[in-house]
Structure 1
Amino acid sequence: MRNIHEFEVKNLLRMANDAKERAYVPYSGFRVGACLKGASGAYYFGCNIENAAYSPTVCAERVAMLRAIYEGEREFDALAIVWDGDTPAVPCGVCRQVLSEFCDGEMPIICANRKGEYKMVSLDDLLPYAFSKKDMNL
């Protein structure tokens, strides 16, 4: 896992927490926020957005990633995720796969709970056998 300075960890967590406040969660009340740092130095924010049909619900991590891709960012340095739970937030399987499309396995992912306690893991820790372009001979 790549190193990340403690100041940057706190900064990413603060911004992810701010993003969490924008969550649209009328069904679960369970808010999640994410902050993705691009290699350009830009920050991209996301919150979870629920839908009555449930399956169209979008996670905070994917919102942040899709915003970044739309803005032209293609390489990333770090991701922070914050939620209202007592344990550190971790990306769901779909988010892990989406992250693996654009992020290298050594990218740090900062997983935090509502109290600000966090664990830092790499994408490889969360998705050690990612399906990728290599598997499709691309």
Structure 2
Amino acid sequence: MDEATLLVARARAAARHAHAPYSRFAVGAAVLLADGTIVTGANVENASYGLSLCAETVAIATVAAQGRLAEVVAVGVIGGAMDAAGHATGSDPVRPCGRCRQVINEAAQMGGRDVAVHCAGAQGEAVASYRLSQLLPDAFGPADLGIA
């Protein structure tokens, strides 16, 4: 199984745990680390909307909590509207929001990598793959502060 297919499959599994009672839009993310470890996350909404967390942010924060932020190699993201049973639907690729692109960029710059980002819908075979530099050109990050 290639990298994109593996990460999309793991992101789809993670989306099953999304807490999205307000938007009814489930998102899952899977982060591949340099040693092959995969860390997942799902979106977690809050009644105070501004406190909601995107799946990518949850996964990257988990990686950071493990002290492995500089090891991020690739990210898989899926999403789709939830049906009445709470399952994500839709086949159009979902891309990270601007905030998540910036969060992924922090890890990418810390590791000195142009991280791969694989995007897919909740269902279907279509996968759109990018380098983070395509999704967030001229990004601000640790290097601008003299850290990375």
- Relative to the length of structure 2, the TM-score reads 0.83
In 2, the alpha carbon distance for the partners of 1:136 and 1:77 equals: 22
1:131 to 93, 118, 140: 140
Does the aligned pair in 1 maintain the 2:4–2:127 contact within 8 Å? no
User: C-alpha distance in 1, partners of 2:67/2:146?
Assistant: 25
Aligned-CA RMSD value? 1.5
- The separation in 1 between residues aligned to 2:60 and 2:44, in whole angstroms, is 14
* Correspondence for 2:86: none
- Cα deviation code 1:87-124 (max 9, x no counterpart): 21111111111111111552110000122311000100
1:49-64 aligned within 5 A: 49-64=44-59
Contact 2:78 2:120 in 1 (8 A): yes
Q: How does 1:11-90 map to 2 (within 5 A)?
A: 11-73=6-68, 74-84=70-80, 85-90=90-95
Gaps of 5+ in 2: 81-89
Aligned position for 2:106: 101
Structure 1 distance, partners of 2:95, 2:23, is 17
Letter in 1 for 2:24: G
**Percentage of identical aligned residues:** 35
Q: Distance in 1 between matches of 2:7 and 2:146?
A: 35
Q: SS at the partner of 1:31?
A: strand
So what's the TM-score if we normalise by structure 1?
0.89
